[in-house]
Amino acid sequence: MTDPVPGTEERVPAGPGVKLSCAQGRWIVVATVLGSTMALLDSTVVNVALPAIGVDLGADLAVLQWTVNAYMVTLAGLILVGGALGDRFGRRRIFVLGVAWFAAASLLCGIAPNAGVLVAARALQGVGGALLAPGSLALIQGSIATEDRARAVGLWSGFGGVGAAVGPFLGGWLVDGPGWRWVFLLNVPVAAVCVPIALRHVPESRDPQAHGRFDVLGAALGAAALALLTYALIEARSGSPLVVASAAGGVLLSAVFVYVERHRADPMLPPGIFSSRQFTAVNIVTLFVYAAFGGFFFLVVLQLQVVSGFSALAAGAALLPATALMLLLSARSGALGEKIGPRIPLTVGPLLCAAGMLLMLRVGPQASYVKDVLPAMVVMGMGMVALVAPLTATVLSSVDPGRAGLASGINNAAARAAGLLAVAALPLLAGMGPDAYRSAAEFDAAFGRAMLWCAGLLVAGAVVAWSTVRKPVPGAVCHPECHVFCATTSPPLEPPRAAKP
């Protein structure tokens, strides 16, 4: 999540706005924090629950992959549209709809009788997330008085950072205690508090300049292409005609998506934005880096539980050092990137993360947290500190200020797409069979190969950054919670704004 981006101020409704010192202003922050925390906690705790889900539902590795990716497919495909819907029909209205939708889908996840229902419910959760995520910060931008907005965003970011830190502990406690279903059911009471507060205290806001039609066709094509490619990668071992057809269909729909976006009057993804060489280069770096992150965070909690014998709580807590480092040092990293430019941080950061993943090769049976896990997570956390703030700032500074929100949304969607494709492809590349996570020896060997792939992706990202990134960053700096969220899921959730629909 980012500071309000220069050039987006004209989208805030005219008027003084709500002062943060009054009760209504504080309630607005509470509502947005509760909403964003739902999505944030879901992202940080679901991976911790994967082994328990597999055992309880008798699921193979492919189901665990779909438990993560079904959510990511619909979220990545629709998040730009979600931001545009809020601008057009009202940010509070779409935010409340997203929170309610997310909670209903979470309830369905929590009571799912089998793997098929769980995967379908996760896809529905992604739809709710696409409506909810863009509206959280947009409500602050559109409702809080200009002079109080930075403080409000700081409060929102700080509480989000606390949520990110608590998430692994909470997820592990729920899995080890009441059970994995409560990872999803917890969203229901949060939504039950959030929705009435939003309806009672948050004023409606919208973009009066929003007009025209939504690029529903573009969103549908993008999501369908991702779904088909993901299916082909997850089920590739079968070699069935359906897998071949899915792969061909995914490639074909990707080409059709590009064609449609190039020829529509109001595209969701305007091709012209890629005329900035810097913007294109940084998004390529994003693809490499967040593919590695997506694969790593999917597999590491499985490795710690299946191979090293950690409890769910201990496995979730093992990720805390990286989160803590980002909370403590992200602001300094942003200031350093502003001072020396993005090229060095975007090169050194991925290389440090690659070193951290190579250190994870030491994490095997009976691994020591202090001797084996902690050094790897500290090195990786330092790499994330060096990388994420300059990456975000460079994305925002690579385009005209008026398109900064669109640039952030595109980068967000690119990272999510990279992560979901990595979760689909990495087990295949590492030679993980359908039942690999049930065998400690088999999973350990495959995990080692997967870490080499992830480290290779990060090195490739560093090479691209060193070769292509030149333009200095003029000062777009994120709040700490943005970096925490980026570390585990995606780039910032600054309200993505599609081209005027």
Give the pLDDT confidence score for residue 4 in this predicted structure: 38
- For residues 404 and 250, give the distance between their C-alpha atoms in angstroms, rounded to a whole number: 29
Give the pLDDT confidence score for residue 471 in this predicted structure: 61
Which residue blocks in 9-145 are alpha helix, DSSP H?
Answer: 23-57, 61-89, 91-110, 115-143
Give the pLDDT confidence score for residue 212 in this predicted structure: 60
Using alpha carbons only, how large is the chain's radius of gyration in Å? 21
Tens digit of each residue's pLDDT (9 = 90 or more) over 197-208: 999 998 888 777
Distance of CA 120 to the CA centre of its chain: 19
At residue 327's C-alpha, the angle toward residues 321 and 328, to 5°, is: 90
Give the pLDDT confidence score for residue 488 in this predicted structure: 38
Give the pLDDT confidence score for residue 328 in this predicted structure: 81
Cβ(318)–Cβ(373) under 8 Å?
Answer: yes
Scan for tokens 């409000």, then name that residue: 152
Running along the chain, 501 residues long, what does each successive block of 10 average in pLDDT?
A: 36 58 87 85 82 92 92 86 82 92 96 95 93 80 79 74 75 90 93 94 78 76 90 86 92 92 82 86 94 94 94 90 82 77 92 96 93 95 88 79 70 86 92 89 95 97 92 47 40 39 35
pTM score: 0.82
- For residues 349 and 355, give the distance between their C-alpha atoms in angstroms, rounded to a whole number: 10
Give the pLDDT confidence score for residue 442 in this predicted structure: 93
- For residues 172 and 179, give the distance between their C-alpha atoms in angstroms, rounded to a whole number: 9
Query: Residue 212's CB: how many other CB atoms inside 10 A?
Result: 12
Cβ(128)–Cβ(36) under 8 Å?
Answer: no
List, in order, residues 6 or more apart from 2 with CB less than 8 Å away: 137, 392, 396, 408, 476, 478, 479, 482, 492, 494
Tens digit of each residue's pLDDT (9 = 90 or more) over 247-306: 999 999 999 999 998 888 778 788 888 888 888 999 999 999 999 999 999 999 999 999
Give the pLDDT confidence score for residue 146 in this predicted structure: 80
